[in-house]
Structure formats: structure tokens, C-alpha cells
Amino acid sequence: MKSKTKLQSGVIKKILSRLKRYWFLIALSLLFAVGSVLLSLYIPIRVGNAIDVIADCFNLKISVDLGINGKILPILIEIGIVAIIIGILQWIMNSINNKITYNVTRDIRNDAFSKLESLPLKYIDSHPYGEMVSRIITDVDQFTDGLLMGFTQLFTGIVTIIATFVFMIYLNWVITIVVVVLTPLSLFIAAFISKNTFKLFKKQSQKRGKETGIIDECIGNLKVVKAFNHEDEFYDEFEKADKELEKASTKAIFFSSLVNPTTRFVNALIYAGVALVGALISMNLLLPGLSMVFTVGMLSTFLSYANQFAKPFNEISGVVTELQNALACAGRVFELMEEESEMPDKSDAISLKNVTGNVTLDNVEFSYSEDKELIKDLSLDVKAGMRVAIVGPTGCGKTTLINLLMRFYDVNDGSILVDSHDIRDITRHSLREGYGMVLQETWLQNGTVKDNIKMGKPDASDEEVISASKACHAHSFIKRLPLGYDTVISDENCSLSQGQRQLLCIARIMLALPPMLILDEATSSIDTRTEIKIQNAFATLMQGRTSFIVAHRLSTIKEADIILVMNKGKIIEMGNHNELLNKNGFYKRLYESQFDFTDKETTED
């Protein structure tokens, strides 16, 4: 319980710290809340006066029409004017509250997205994408709803309670005691019911994030799901998550829904108490020593005040419940925002310029987890302009080596140097600017074909874009698109084939012309005829550029200056194609196995 309370208080402090910058708007909202509440409490007094006028007319046998025209009509006009002013004040207050709430929400969502971009790849790789999306979108929305209700009802409620108490004391302190004693019961009941809702709503939010992750995974890989007839398994997994969400939501909503009926029951007790005590005072049966006048109009006013006094307690009870959900969602967002960011560049980090392309790996050690060793004692000296091919079985560390070269991950031990500078002493921006990278997995941003190609060189001219596209043989299919280079595409909703998407990624590199290249299965989705042409284009591009080529098809890396054969995170063989074949080692077996497999396929066909 203590840890939960500490967690809640911590979340509240973080929210309050974000509200500080809007203190003027909050003060203004509070001012309008005070004005609207005071005027709202003035109306019951005038209504009571009007009722007393009618009662006096009957008691004194005066014409009711005379009373209405002489005294009641001005009161009604006054009430109407006050009601209009109240409406204007509340409209302004709600507009201010909306502005505060959505500004805070915007700030949190922007900070959360900015944090997402600064998180290390280790965190991104180990968490479901859908769950992270749920935190930034759904949880922030839930937090917005709770915060808006808090501003709209909490301010007004607190002011109403204080002001109503003062007005009631002024009218009749005895009945005020009855109202004040009975009303807080609703708050105590609500607090008792909702004390566990924070935990329940947090669990609901977690289950919602899990379900969002399943949906995201299914949509993103629907072709694979359908190809392997995995729809039923995915449906069962979703149904299980949905039932867990239903169970968590039902509990949270059930406990929170108990607040309203219990508080309404307390309200009924308050009305009964006010009527009873008012009747006893009128009949001089209660505190006969005190001369108290309690008219019908005062009874009407007090019943209205009892309702006004109790209403904020009911609303605050609802706000407390909603805030429990908001705090739980805010806590999940803050958890994301407080994750350890990628280690920043050193204060004295240098900006790499005029890169020549000398790359050295000195006794590099790396593993994704402490209990599973991957790369150990890896040393390599690559001179500028060399073409380095990296081959080996799946999971041997080829892509991991690329991640280390780009400093997506930092080495656990040893060092990687570019032009004699440890990459940890170089700004990430300048390091990655020195590399041109084409991966097996393609990614397209939401924009035109031209925008996608110009990603590595935003100031490129249209002629340069077309020239780069022709170099990688993408120009012909781009021309056939509805708007050519101005056709809008995106990564998720795109009619381009995987090969065409990869050609656009290659065009980026052809346009940027970086001093170093990383090609990780860059032509894996392209047909053989086009691949031969692109390999020739790459050969021209790689002239004078340090290049790292990850390839499974060994026939594509025969011309490499040096081939690194990796297995279990270590370089077990090194040399050019002919040297490695003459060694009769792992590379030769790997190379011949591909052709044996091809021959077998041809024979079977």
C-alpha cells in the first residue's frame, strides 16, 4: 500500500511540475470558478425570497398578481440576468480548462515521442511496438480525460463547498451542522470504494497495451499470418488478451460505479435531515430557547444549498475515480519517458569530417545479454577503399557487427576506430553521416517518391534524383507510377513490391554518395537480372569507398578485397575468395553447399 501511495504521489508531483508553466491560466480559471459559484449561490436566496413573497400574499390575503408585479417580477429578471452571467463565466472557464489540459497533453505526448527517438535500440528491440504506441496514444488520451474532468469539476467543486458553507452559516447554523455532518459521508464512502481502483485501472491499461501490441503485430504481418494459416492461433491469442482486458475493465468499472449510487443515497438522507430539522425549528420544538425564524423560502434555499453542497462531493468522488485511471495511465507514460536514454555524445566529441574510411576493430567484445556471449576478441584492420564482405551462418554476428559499426549499440569492451578516432569520441550524427546503409528490411517515409530518395541529401536537385534512380534501375518503374516522382507512398500503405521498395532505398545511397558503405543483403528482394545490373552499379559506387557487405549469396561477393568468415561471434577465416577456397575450410564448405543445394534444386525441377 505504501509503495502504491508513493507511486501515486510521485506521478502527481510530475503532473504538477508540468502545470507550473500554465499557472496564470490556472489562476484565471480559478477566478472565473469563484465568480460563477458565488453567483450560483445567490440565485437560491432570491428564489427563496420570491417564495416568501408568494407565501406572504396568501397569509396577508394580498392579491398574488399584485405581489408578482410589484416584487416577484424584479426578482425573476434579476435571476435571469445572473444566470446569463453565470453561463458566460462557465464558458470562459471551460475554454481555459480545455486550453490547459490539451497544452499539457501536447507537451507530454511531444516529450514522450522525443524520448522514443532517444531510447537506445536495446529498449526498442526488447519491447512490443504496439505497447509503446498504446502508451503514447491511448494512455495519454485517458490521462487527458481525467485531467480535464479534474480541472472542470475539482476547482468548481472545492469553491462551491467553501462558499456554500459560508452562505448556509449566514442563513441558519443549526441546519448547516446537519448538512455538514451528513454530506462528507459520501466522500468517505467513495474513498473507501475507490481505494483499490488505481491498481485496477493500471492493470486495465497494461492489458489494453498488450492487446494493442497483438493487433499491431497481426496487421503488420498479415500476409505471413495468412500464408501460414495462422489466423485461428492469432484470434485465440487476441481473444485471450481481450478477455483479460474485459476482466480487468469490469472490475475497475464495477468498483468505480459503486460511488454514484452510494453518494445519491447520502443525498437523500441530507434532504430528509434538512426538512426534518427545518420543521422542528418552525414548530419551535428544537432549541426553543433560541428565537429562529425559518420560512418556507428559507427551506427552499437550504434544500437547494444542500444539493449544491452535496453535488461537489459526488462530482469529486467521480473525479477521484477518473483521476485514478488518469494517474495509472500517466504513470505508464512517465515510465516510458524516464527510461534511460541512449548515452549522449561526449561534451568534447569531435565531428568527423573529410572521412577517408580507415576502420579498425580492436579486441571488440559484445553481447545483447550478460548470460549469452556473442562477439569476443574481434580484431580487424580495414584500410580506406577496401571492400569487406562478411559471411557466415545465421546468428553468427554479421548484423550485430554492422550495428556496432554504426554505433546503434556500444561495445562492451575493446574499441572501434574510424580514421584513428574511437567512435565513442565522435558525434553519432557525423559518424552515421559518413555511412550509407542499405538493409534487407526496407523503410519508406510518408511522402513522395522524390522525398524518400532525397532523405540522405535533402538539397539534391531533381536531375540528381533522376540520375541516382537510373543508376540503380529504379527510374523505369517510377515513371510508371500515377504521378511519377511525385507519387505519395508510405511504409505501411504502399502498392510497391518489396523489390521496388528496396530499389528506392538503394537510390538514396546512390544520391547521397557517402564515403563509407554498409550493404546488408541490399539486393535480397530483387530479381537476378536487375541484381546483376545493380551489382555493377555498386561496384562503380564502391570505388575508393570503404564498404562492408553482408551477404548470404556468396556468388555476389567474389570481388571483395577481403572476406570475413564469422561463426559464433568470431572471425574464423579471413582472405579473398580464392585464398579462402584454397584453405579448404569453413568458407569452402559454405560456398560449395550453396551450389550443391542449387544443383539439387535444378535436378529436382
Alpha carbons 125 and 368: distance in angstroms, whole number = 10
- Reference 52, options 278, 296, 282; nearest CA is 296
Alpha carbons 599 and 107: distance in angstroms, whole number = 61
* Length in residues, the chain: 605
Tell me which of 337, 368, 395 is where a domain ends: 337
Alpha carbons 440 and 124: distance in angstroms, whole number = 19
**What is the widest separation between alpha-carbon atoms in the chain?**
126
Q: Are 518 and 456 in contact (CB under 8 A)?
A: no
DSSP-derived pairing of the beta strands 375-382 and 359-366: antiparallel
- Reference 168, options 159, 156, 180, 158; nearest CA is 180
- Indicate whether 154 and 117 sit together in one domain: yes
Beta bridge partners of 550: 390, 520
Give 139's DSSP letter.
I
pLDDT at 59: 62
- Indicate whether 15 and 81 sit together in one domain: yes
- Reference 355, options 436, 431, 459; nearest CA is 431
Does a structural domain hold residue 501?
Answer: no
pLDDT at 331: 83
User: Which helix (H) or strand (E) element contains residue 574?
Assistant: strand 570-575
Alpha carbons 281 and 547: distance in angstroms, whole number = 97
Count structural domains, the chain: 2
Alpha carbons 550 and 121: distance in angstroms, whole number = 20
- Reference 166, options 81, 262, 78, 45; nearest CA is 45
Does a structural domain hold residue 134?
Answer: yes
What are the distances in angstroms from CA 470 to CA 191, 249, 337, 452, 536?
70, 56, 44, 15, 13
- Reference 428, options 446, 402, 407, 413; nearest CA is 407
- Indicate whether 300 and 373 sit together in one domain: no
Does a structural domain hold residue 469?
Answer: no
Does a structural domain hold residue 518?
Answer: no
What are the distances in angstroms from CA 367 to CA 401, 407, 408, 432?
11, 14, 13, 22
pLDDT at 416: 92
pLDDT at 60: 56
Sheet holding 562-567, edge to edge: 435-438, 516-520, 546-550, 387-391, 562-567, 570-575
Alpha carbons 182 and 180: distance in angstroms, whole number = 6
- Indicate whether 168 and 275 sit together in one domain: yes
Does a structural domain hold residue 457?
Answer: no
Q: Are 323 and 144 in contact (CB under 8 A)?
A: no
| Residue range of the domain that includes 200 | 2-209+249-337
Claim: this prediction has a pTM higher than 0.75: no
Tell me which of 304, 337, 370 is where a domain ends: 337
pLDDT at 88: 94
- Indicate whether 272 and 421 sit together in one domain: no
Alpha carbons 564 and 570: distance in angstroms, whole number = 9
Beta bridge partners of 388: 548, 562
- Reference 401, options 386, 411, 413; nearest CA is 411
Q: What share of the chain is helix, strand, coil (3-state, %, to 5)?
A: 65, 10, 20
Burial 420-446 (b: 16+ CB within 10 A, else e): eeebbebbbebbbbbbbbbbbebebee
- Indicate whether 110 and 184 sit together in one domain: yes
Q: Are 519 and 505 in contact (CB under 8 A)?
A: no
- Indicate whether 261 and 306 sit together in one domain: yes
What are the distances in angstroms from CA 429 to CA 110, 345, 507?
22, 9, 21
- Indicate whether 325 and 361 sit together in one domain: no
What CATH code is carried by the domain that includes residue 291?
A: 1.20.1560.10
pLDDT at 599: 44
Alpha carbons 83 and 316: distance in angstroms, whole number = 24
Alpha carbons 160 and 306: distance in angstroms, whole number = 11
Does a structural domain hold residue 232?
Answer: no
Q: Are 329 and 143 in contact (CB under 8 A)?
A: yes
Alpha carbons 213 and 34: distance in angstroms, whole number = 45
What CATH code is carried by the domain that includes residue 389?
A: 3.40.50.300
The distance from CA 494 to its chain's CA centroid, rounded to whole angstroms, is: 25
- Indicate whether 385 and 296 sit together in one domain: no
Give the helix ranges, DSSP H, for 338-441: 398-405, 428-433
- Indicate whether 316 and 429 sit together in one domain: no
- For the chain (605 residues), the mean pLDDT of every run of 10, in chain order, is 58 81 86 87 83 70 54 83 92 88 86 85 78 82 76 75 83 79 72 68 80 78 72 84 86 75 75 74 64 70 77 68 77 84 84 88 84 80 88 79 87 90 90 84 84 87 91 88 89 75 85 86 72 74 85 76 82 86 87 60 38
pLDDT at 485: 92
Helix or strand or coil: residue 369? strand
| C-beta contacts of 585-591 below 8 A and 24+ residues apart | 587/391, 587/563, 590/391, 590/392, 590/393, 590/554, 590/565, 591/554
Does a structural domain hold residue 498?
Answer: no
- Indicate whether 282 and 401 sit together in one domain: no
Does a structural domain hold residue 274?
Answer: yes
Tell me which of 285, 304, 337 is where a domain ends: 337
- Indicate whether 264 and 407 sit together in one domain: no
- Reference 172, options 263, 59, 291; nearest CA is 291
